[in-house]
Structure 1
Amino acid sequence: MKFSPKKIKELGNFLKNSYVPNNIPGFSVLVNQDSKEIYYSESGLIDVNRKRKINRDSIFRIYSMTKPITSISIMMLLEQGLININDDVEKFIPEWENLSVYQSGSFENLITEPPKRKMKVKDLLMHRSGLTYDFEETSFVQKIYLKEEIKIARSKEKLSADQYIKKLADIPLAFSPGEHFNYSISTDILGFIIERITGKSLEDYFKEKIFDPLGMKDTFFQIPENKISRLANCYIYDQTNDRYIVEDDFEKSSYIEKPSCYSGGGGLLSTIDDYMKFCELLQNKGTLNDVNIIGSRTASFMMSNHLEKDIDLYDIAKGKWGTNIGKGVGFSLGGSIVIDPIKNMSLRSKDEFSWGGAASTLFWVDPREKISVVFMTQMLGNPLSQNLREDLRTLVYQALI
């Protein structure tokens, strides 16, 4: 199927009229099909007070859209024989040889037990490790993360990767590896493993192996001084007063400083065109413009559903993925996979590979229709984030004829 030029224009018009400026200050959206640009639209601001307009080269915090880049890096190491997804994590992090699992109790009296099995690299790739996030209110372990300041992406606590690993060795898992899906710092740990295997910083590894070969010149952990003027402000929604406020101002942004450790789970900045290059790499199964990053079989393996037969995220996930949005959705080695669009009650294609970022950003790669989409904005805690993402997909697919 191909896009109707008339119908696809409804995408930008709808988003502008429905979400800007009441819910988000601005957005940009890019749609490709068959590796060709079909549609681009931008509207609104990246800085409300200074009236800076959103542009094609605006730089955004992509947060968890960092994760698939880390996953593909693990696949590259797999191809070199340096890691196997069934390896025990303690092979690379011996400090975690004696992990425990939370059972009950409070800070003063934690009751734990040994895990039913060892944590595997695959568990980290699939968020089935037993780790959590400090904002995922799915276990008492989340409260321990808050108390111990386990917040790797842009943390105010300036800890190194090794220091985080040491602290986590003493914090129980929320469940035994493999038992559930729970969104977590698992991908950050994969980033630390990449650094240990390669002897390079995650920043240098990404740049050498992915960003430079693909021409992703505006994707980095720390923003260069000559590009700060292009950085969007990041906003956070104040639900008490039903308005949004500045969370990270571009002139004083934490991204101006070098991070104490590199977050493979949420640390990158990027532009809409740079991230589309990564999406097209995925769409073309590991090769872009004659530049091969991973083999086609490896790319297909990574972007396949790895959940057990007849299981979706709704069945096994803690948190929001255990609600209706997880119905008909599986999980790969780095992002969600649509396994049943009807059960998901959406126009999405079967086998769609996707993930989003905390600031309401989103991408998806649809191998059936050869469609790649990147959506950028900067709104944390957005109460309408899920509505926005559903509308975005609907407006893209209604334009197919």
Structure 2
Amino acid sequence: MKKLFPFLLLSLTWTAIAKPPVTSVRAVMNGFVADNVIAGSVTAVATKSKILSLETTGFANLKTKTTMPADAMFWIASMTKPMAAVCVLQLQESGKLSIDDPVQKHLPEFAGQWMVESRAKGKLILKKPARAITIRDLLTHTSGLPNTNSPRPESTLAELVMSYSKTPLQFEPGSRWSYSNAGINVLGRIVEVASGTPFAEFLQARVLDPCGMKDTTFWPTPAQARRIATSYRPDKTGKLQPTEVFFLKGGISNRKRTPYPAG
């Protein structure tokens, strides 16, 4: 699963609940750090009207032992996906599309797509699927598109999605669930075609700006970049290791890098 960088960054996660257990937040997060589940965190507990608690724990960088600052920014990876879905649903509300539209209605290159029937002795047998994939299939990870992203960080979204249209489906659309980065990237391209606006600009204008998400961006400024906490994932032994972010190769603020909706 390719992550987003051009990526979205969030400085805080807000949780609004009626009677938040403020005193337990730090203990819980410290437990995660102690158990080597995470390197560190920034947590906020808030009601609709005020922030009840803002806590930091652990480290922004384990190697340098940099403690986690309250204004740290994080790579949110596939949490970009629900934001892409919001963009699609906004376009449905405005009458620009229906989630039950065939994808080929908006992206003609998907007309006539093939599907894998069988694999045997190094041979791939193809057939036509019973029906075309729909936007709903993309939203629900039931399209049959593979879980792939891009072979090149400089690929445009249009180029990337064109390559998907030439890739055989893995199963009949709607017949089963299979996590797919490709499907979400196709959604982003549909947003571009239906709105006439690049995906990143549409997301900025319709989601990020209205929500006041000033520190959520595909291209962090140098000042923002200095606030980014290192991302980690456990290795086979359970030890946290820095996560390589494929799309950082070329500069953290490189605007030639395509913002992929899948994260």
- TM-score bracket, shorter-length normalisation: 0.7 to 0.9
Q: Find the counterpart in structure 2 of residue 269 from structure 1.
A: none
Q: Which amino acid aligns with 2:218?
A: F
CA contact (8 A) 1:222 1:259 kept: no
Alignment of 1:95-110 (within 5 A): 95-105=109-119, 109-110=123-124
Pair 1:10 & 2:29 matched: no
Which residue does 1:289 correspond to in 2?
A: none
Residue from 74, 78, 82 that aligns with 1:60: 74
- SS of corresponding position for 1:122: helix
Q: Which residue of 2 aligns with 1:336?
A: none
TM-score, length basis structure 1: 0.56
Does the Cα contact within 8 Å between 2:115 and 2:170 map onto a contact in 1? Answer: yes
Matched, 1:112 2:112: no
RMSD: 2.5
| Pair 1:218-2:228 in alignment | no
User: Please, which of 187, 190, 204 is the counterpart of residue 190 of structure 1?
Assistant: 187
Aligned 1:117-266 pairs, distance under 5 A: 117-134=131-148, 151-152=149-150, 156-185=152-181, 186-239=183-236, 241-248=237-244, 255-258=252-255, 260-266=257-263
Q: Distance in 2 between matches of 1:166 and 1:86?
A: 21
Separation in structure 1 between the aligned mates of residue 44 and residue 103 of structure 2, nearest angstrom: 38
Contact persistence 1:95–1:165 (CA under 8 A): no
Unaligned residue ranges in structure 2 (runs of 5+): 1-16
Could you say if the C-alpha distance between residues 260 and 211 of structure 1 is closer, same or farther in structure 2, counting changes exceeding 3 Å?
Answer: same
Deviation (angstroms), 1:27: 1.3
Query: Cα distance, 1:10 vs. partner?
Result: 1.8
Q: State the secondary structure of the residue aligned to 2:123.
A: coil
Is 1:95–1:166's contact at 8 Å kept on the other side of the alignment? Answer: yes
- Per-residue CA deviation, residues 127-184 of structure 1 (Å, 9 max, x unaligned), is 11112314xxxxxxxxxxxxxxxx24xx644322222222222221111111112111
Asked if structure 2 preserves the Cα contact closer than 8 Å seen for 1:64 and 1:265, the reply is: yes
Deviation, structure 1 residue 18: 4.0
Q: Which residue of 1 aligns with 2:13?
A: none
Deviations 1:46-70 (A, max 9, x none): 1112232222221111111111211
What are the Cα deviations for residues 341-364 of structure 1, in whole angstroms up to 9, with x where unaligned?
xxxxxxxxxxxxxxxxxxxxxxxx
| Alpha-carbon contact 1:187-1:265 (below 8 Å) kept | yes
How far apart in 2 are the matches of 1:32 and 1:253?
Answer: 38
**Secondary structure at the counterpart of residue 56 of structure 2:** strand
Match of 1:47 in 2: 61
Secondary structure of 1:111's aligned partner: strand
Distance 1:100 1:109, change over 3 A: same
Partners in 2 of 1:87 and 1:67 — Cα distance? 19
Alpha carbons 1:20, 1:26 under 8 Å: kept: no
2:34 to 11, 20, 25: 20
What residue identity is the alignment partner of 2:211? L
Give distance in 2, aligned partners of 1:220 and 1:120: 29
Structure 2 length as normaliser, TM-score?
0.82
Q: How many angstroms apart in 1 are the aligned matches of 2:82 and 2:121?
A: 34
| CA distance in 2: counterparts of 1:54 and 1:253, whole angstroms | 26
Distance 1:259 1:177 in 2: 34
1:328-382 per-position Cα deviation (integer Å, ceiling 9, x unaligned) = xxxxxxxxxxxxxxxxxxxxxxxxxxxxxxxxxxxxxxxxxxxxxxxxxxxxxxx
Percent identity (aligned): 26
Output the CA distance in 1 between the equivalents of 2:121 and 2:158: 24
Counterparts in 2 of 1:212 and 1:99: CA distance versus 1, 3 Å = same
Structure 1 gaps, min length 5: 135-150, 267-401
Work out the CA distance in 2 between the residues paired with 1:191 and 1:126.
14
Distance 1:180 1:252, change over 3 A: closer
Q: 1:261 to 1:129 in 2, by over 3 A?
A: same
Give, in whole Å, the separation in 2 of the partners of 1:78 and 1:34. Answer: 28
1:193-243 residue CA offsets vs partner (Å, 9 max, x unmatched): 11122222212111222222222111111111221110111223221x432
Paired with 1:236 and 1:257, the residues of 2 have a C-alpha distance of 25
